[in-house]
């Protein structure tokens, strides 16, 4: 019964069935937004107007459809598929490779009728035929008047590499899902931060206790004043606050420390620093508003102690200037860094306080996934190697010769014709 059970696991139809189930689960996870807030699901999947007539936010939360790729049933199906592949490898692929390595002699001439190509040669020297076969890189095994030859045995390893590549990829996906995490942090320039704003995490995740500091943040612009790239100069700190590592990161070029990756993803303006005539510095918070998809920030600066009158400051970039408007929206002036504006009391524009948006993540399954794709590329290259076999029986002055190949049949036929040429 054990043998029958494992044979069922190794069956191709069973593996395809599990793969289809995984595909269905993946489609569900693609259609339904993953790892969103409860308010998002309540807004998009209300109880009163169910999607597809049955799907609402309570069903999504009940069955874990908001985090499909971390549910026990999705991870269980992946594990079962991996077990099926592993069982198939040991019960079918390895024995098949072992059989291919054996000497499979033909004992009777009737066996040649099962081959794709065979012929009879009369008065053809066997030594000359074997010499030609050896020149074509075949391995030759002979017992008196019967001969077996093969080449390209390494091509039979390709399915095994495919199985191991898929197993590594599945293992990496499960390991990463259980132990990885992703966080999003917005940090003002010169501030130190810890990993706190966790977006999603696995059941076995341990959040590292590590400190980092944003030393500087800046943006480069094109000639048309569009954002070209934004950069963060950051440092990794030890428990004593000393710098361990320092790197400038930008989009698609993260910093890495002990498997933790820091990606540059966003930016924001948080405030302005102004100085009055008495050299007292004030900070004014900036509020972000939407302007046709562009980022625009504004703040209000009072000009008297009663806060009854003032002017509005508007800024839409980090190029070092802002625009001033009256309470009625009338344009006053453009103010550059270190420039003084004198309305009723002189104010000097000192600094734009910016913050950087970082995505912090760790995925311990990535090395397994890379290893899986490496095996997959190797198997693709190996699969181009043709596995060919030749059989020869010498009966007095008559030589029976035939062969088979698993691919490149036309090339094999040309090779066969060249072998039997006198």
What is the C-alpha end-to-end distance of the chain, expressed in Å? 57
- Residue ranges per structural domain of the chain: 2-96, 106-152+386-420, 163-268+357-368, 279-346
Determine the pLDDT at residue 248: 95
pTM as predicted: 0.69
Determine the pLDDT at residue 253: 92
**SS3 assignment, position 34:** coil
The distance from CA 233 to its chain's CA centroid, rounded to whole angstroms, is: 26
Determine the pLDDT at residue 306: 66
Render pLDDT for 175-219 as a digit per residue (tens, 0 to 9): 888 888 999 999 988 899 999 888 888 888 888 888 999 999 998
CA distance 305 to 284: 15
CA distance 277 to 261: 45
Determine the pLDDT at residue 231: 93
Determine the pLDDT at residue 161: 86
Determine the pLDDT at residue 293: 62
| b/e 332-361 (16+ beta carbons within 10 angstroms → b) | eeebeeeeebeeeeebbbbbbbbbbbbbbb
Pick the CATH number of 106-152+386-420 from 3.30.310, 3.40.50, 1.20.1070, 3.10.450: 3.30.310
Contacts of 361 (CB under 8 A, 6+ apart): 180, 181, 182, 183, 260, 261, 263
Determine the pLDDT at residue 372: 92
Q: What is the DSSP string of 356-405?
A: EEEEEEE-TTHHHHHHHHHHHHHHHHHTTS--EEEEEEEETTEEEEEEEE
Determine the pLDDT at residue 333: 84
Number of residues written out for the chain: 422
Render pLDDT for 281-337 as a digit per residue (tens, 0 to 9): 888 899 888 766 677 888 888 877 766 778 888 888 888 888 888 888 888 888 888
Determine the pLDDT at residue 232: 94
Determine the pLDDT at residue 361: 92
* Nearest by Cα to 251 from 229, 268, 234: 229
| Paired residues of 284 in beta bridges | 272
Determine the pLDDT at residue 9: 80
Residue ranges in the chain whose pLDDT is less than 70:
1-2, 100, 291-293, 306-307, 343-344
Determine the pLDDT at residue 55: 86
- Ramachandran sector of residue 287 (left: φ over 0; alpha: ψ -120 to 50; beta: rest): beta
């Amino acid at each position: 019964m054990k043998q029958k059970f494992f044979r069922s696991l190794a069956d191709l139809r069973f593996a395809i069935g599990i793969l289809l189930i995984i595909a269905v689960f993946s489609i569900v996870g693609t259609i339904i937004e993953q790892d969103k807030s409860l308010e998002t699901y309540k807004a998009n999947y209300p109880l009163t107007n169910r999607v597809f007539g049955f799907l609402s936010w309570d069903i999504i939360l009940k069955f874990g459809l908001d985090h499909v790729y971390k549910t026990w049933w999705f991870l269980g199906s992946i594990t079962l598929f991996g077990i099926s592949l592993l069982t198939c490898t040991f019960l079918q692929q390895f024995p098949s490779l072992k059989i291919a390595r054996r000497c499979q002699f033909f004992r009777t001439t009737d066996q040649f009728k099962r081959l794709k190509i065979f012929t009879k040669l009369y008065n053809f020297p066997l030594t000359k035929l074997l010499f030609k076969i050896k020149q074509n890189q075949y391995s030759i095994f002979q017992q008196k008047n019967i001969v077996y030859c093969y080449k390209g045995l390494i091509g039979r390893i390709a399915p095994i590499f495919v199985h191991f590549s898929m197993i590594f990829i599945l293992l990496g996906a499960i390991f990463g899902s259980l132990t990885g995490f992703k966080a999003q942090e917005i940090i003002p320039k010169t501030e130190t931060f810890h990993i706190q704003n966790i977006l999603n995490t696995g059941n076995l995740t341990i959040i590292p206790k590590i400190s980092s500091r944003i030393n500087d943040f800046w943006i480069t612009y094109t000639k048309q004043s569009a954002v070209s790239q934004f950069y963060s100069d950051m440092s990794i700190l030890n428990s004593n606050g000393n710098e361990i590592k320092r790197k400038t990161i930008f989009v698609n070029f993260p910093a890495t420390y002990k498997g933790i990756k820091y990606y540059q993803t966003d930016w924001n303006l948080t405030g302005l620093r102004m100085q009055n005539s008495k050299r007292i510095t004030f900070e004014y918070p900036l509020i972000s508003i939407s302007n046709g998809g562009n980022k625009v920030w504004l703040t209000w600066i009072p000009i008297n102690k009663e806060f009854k009158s003032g002017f509005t400051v508007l800024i839409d970039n980090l190029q070092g200037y802002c625009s001033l408007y009256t309470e009625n929206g009338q344009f006053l002036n453009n103010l550059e860094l270190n420039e003084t504006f004198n309305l009723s009391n002189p104010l000097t524009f000192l600094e734009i306080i910016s913050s950087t948006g970082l995505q912090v993540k760790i995925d311990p399954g990535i090395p397994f996934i890379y290893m899986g794709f490496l095996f997959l590329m190797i198997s693709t290259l190996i699969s181009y190697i043709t596995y060919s076999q030749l059989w020869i029986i010498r009966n007095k002055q008559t030589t029976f010769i035939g062969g088979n190949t698993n691919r490149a049949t036309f090339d094999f036929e040309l090779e066969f014709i060249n072998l039997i040429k006198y």
